């Protein structure tokens, strides 16, 4: 039976990397019906909504989305680009990928970062004496995707009830009571037990399924006692009762970023709230090649959307020959394949990607450390489709 997959190309390079990925999926033997969903800047300009209801309905029906990237712009710029007939009608721009995560409660974000042998972008460090070491990173970050500091509950010059509630806290009285209300900006960091437990259980479950020996909660529980503290405490309970065979580690986000270059190879699964998960996953992605390699999954209880972590890279979007690296998108599609149980096809594609990188004959401009100019392909860099061709040839 053919699967229905909703493709969400979006803007800029989103469409290019998605098209190349579908070519790889086809050649790898994945049988699917691709149904394109409208999303992105074009629909903001023409309809005042970058995430039309018909796209939501498609995902609601078919459950699996493969997303390229979108362009976001600040509110005022966005309004200026609206179709004249829609201006002054109260449309306010908001990011459609954030909208998707919220609408479908895609609260579990998974971002694997593993070293590809032979990738010229791999992190290397100084070892003892003159030794140069290239640590093998194999980390999977679980980021809570819907709450915390990115939950959107925030105010400048907060309303009276909020101010009064804040003023019941002894620390607020001590540190902020003398500040005029108009000069206060407040962003909340709300964690719920349910979502925290879901991200932790997802992390432990993954560690067990794929044989990782440790799960690290990367927060700051000694200072952010309520939210980080709750996450770590729940992690301890879950580990004790359900995963005694997996070690639970506890790191602070600041120290973790310092240790990133010291010993990244010792970590397995890392779990964090929304913002710290965002930070630590970008940090690890930097060790394994950066945006051209960073893939992700957004999982809800019902719907799942898979996407590279990079954006629409507008600078490169209009090159006659696309030069961007499609691997982040292809790896995101492999995560989709695992999610729907197509393990063999995922394995086959991953193996081919590894082979192409290790052989080193075909490299996109980022892997050659070139500046992203249209002429990189004249100077030995592979184009987006040449990279996809090489991966297809190795399947
Ligand atoms: P970006 O990720 O689009 O590009 C930043 C730089 O990273 C590029 O100039 C390029 O040098 C490199 N890069 C990105 N993808 C690459 C690839 N596949 N291969 C090789 N190099 C790659 O981020 P930027 O420029 O900050 O944002 C551009 C637009 O994308 C903005 O409108 C932003 O809001 C949006 N954005 C969307 C995201 C999404 O759709 N999930 C995520 C991040 C940004
Ligand atoms: Mg980020």
Ligand 1 atom closest to Cα of residue 17: 18
Which domains can be identified in the chain, with CATH numbers? Answer: 1-107+300-395 (3.40.718.10), 123-151+190-287 (3.40.718.10), 154-187 (no CATH)
Residue to probe by mutation, ligand 1, list 309, 313, 369, 373, most atoms within 8 Å of CB: 313
pLDDT 10s digit of each residue in the chain, 395 long?
789 999 999 999 999 999 999 999 999 999 999 999 999 999 999 999 999 999 999 999 999 999 999 999 988 899 999 999 998 899 999 899 989 999 999 999 999 999 999 999 999 999 999 899 999 999 999 999 999 998 889 999 999 999 999 999 999 999 999 999 999 999 999 999 999 999 999 999 999 999 999 999 999 999 999 999 999 999 999 999 999 999 999 999 999 999 999 999 999 999 999 999 999 999 999 999 999 999 999 999 999 999 999 999 999 999 999 999 999 999 999 999 999 999 999 999 999 999 999 999 999 999 999 999 999 999 999 999 999 999 999 99
* 32 Cα–ligand 2 center, Å: 30
Ligand 1 atom closest to Cα of residue 71: 32
Q: Which helix (H) or strand (E) segment is 298 a member of?
A: strand 295-299
In this structure, the dihedral spanned by the alpha carbons of residues 226, 228, 231 and 237, taken in order and rounded to 10 degrees, is -80
Q: Please give the radius of gyration of the chain, using alpha carbons only, rounded to the nearest integer.
A: 22
Pocket residues: Cβ below 6 A from ligand 1: 17, 69-72, 97, 291-292, 307, 310-315, 324-325, 328, 366, 372
* 72 Cα–ligand 1 center, Å: 10
Ligand 1 atom closest to Cα of residue 316: 9
Per the listing, tokens 């700051």 go with: 220
Ligand nearest to the Cα of 291, by number? 1
* 121 Cα–ligand 1 center, Å: 18
What phi-psi label fits residue 373: left (phi over 0), alpha (psi between -120 and 50 degrees) or beta? beta
Q: Which helix (H) or strand (E) segment is 61 a member of?
A: helix 53-62
The Cα-based distances of 7 to 52, 272, 304 in angstroms read 14, 29, 12
Look at strands 138-144 and 108-114 and give their pairing: antiparallel
Ligand nearest to the Cα of 278, by number? 2
Q: Using CA atoms, how far apart are residues 68 and 42, in angstroms rounded to an integer?
A: 14
């Amino acid at each position: 039976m053919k699967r229905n997959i909703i493709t969400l190309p979006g803007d800029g390079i989103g469409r290019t990397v998605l098209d190349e990925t579908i070519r790889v999926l086809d050649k790898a033997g994945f049988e699917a019906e691709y149904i394109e969903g409208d999303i992105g800047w074009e629909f903001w300009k023409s309809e005042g909504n970058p995430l039309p209801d018909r796209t939501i309905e498609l995902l609601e029906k078919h459950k699996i989305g493969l997303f390229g990237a979108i362009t976001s712009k600040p509110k005022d710029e966005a309004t200026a680009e609206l179709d004249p007939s829609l201006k002054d009608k109260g449309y306010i721009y908001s990011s459609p990928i954030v909208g998707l995560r919220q609408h479908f409660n895609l609260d579990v974000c998974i971002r694997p970062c593993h070293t590809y042998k032979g990738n010229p972008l791999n992190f290397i460090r100084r070892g003892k004496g003159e030794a140069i070491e290239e640590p093998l990173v194999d980390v999977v970050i679980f980021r809570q995707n819907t709450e915390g500091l990115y939950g959107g509950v925030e105010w400048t010059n907060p309303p009276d009830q909020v101010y009064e509630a804040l003023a019941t806290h002894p620390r607020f009285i001590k540190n902020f009571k003398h500040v005029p209300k108009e000069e206060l900006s407040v962003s909340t960091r709300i964690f719920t037990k349910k979502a925290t437990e879901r991200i932790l259980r997802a992390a432990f479950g993954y560690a067990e399924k794929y044989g990782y020996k440790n799960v690290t909660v990367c927060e700051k529980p000694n200072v952010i006692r309520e939210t980080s503290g709750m996450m770590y405490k729940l992690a301890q309970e879950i580990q004790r009762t359900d995963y005694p065979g997996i070690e639970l580690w506890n790191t602070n986000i600041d120290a973790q970023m310092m240790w990133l270059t010291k010993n990244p190879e010792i970590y397995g699964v890392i779990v964090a709230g929304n913002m710290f998960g965002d930070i630590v996953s970008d940090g690890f992605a930097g060790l394994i090649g950066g945006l051209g390699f960073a893939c992700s999954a957004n999982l809800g209880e019902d719907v799942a959307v898979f996407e590279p972590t990079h954006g629409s890279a507008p600078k490169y979007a209009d090159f006659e020959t696309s030069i961007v690296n499609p691997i982040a998108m292809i790896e995101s599609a492999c995560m989709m394949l695992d999610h729907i149980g197509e393990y063999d096809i995922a394995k086959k594609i991953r193996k081919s990607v590894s082979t192409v990188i290790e052989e080193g004959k075909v490299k996109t401009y980022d892997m050659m450390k070139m500046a992203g100019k249209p002429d990189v392909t004249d100077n030995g860099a592979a184009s987006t489709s040449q990279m996809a061709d090489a991966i297809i040839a190795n399947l």
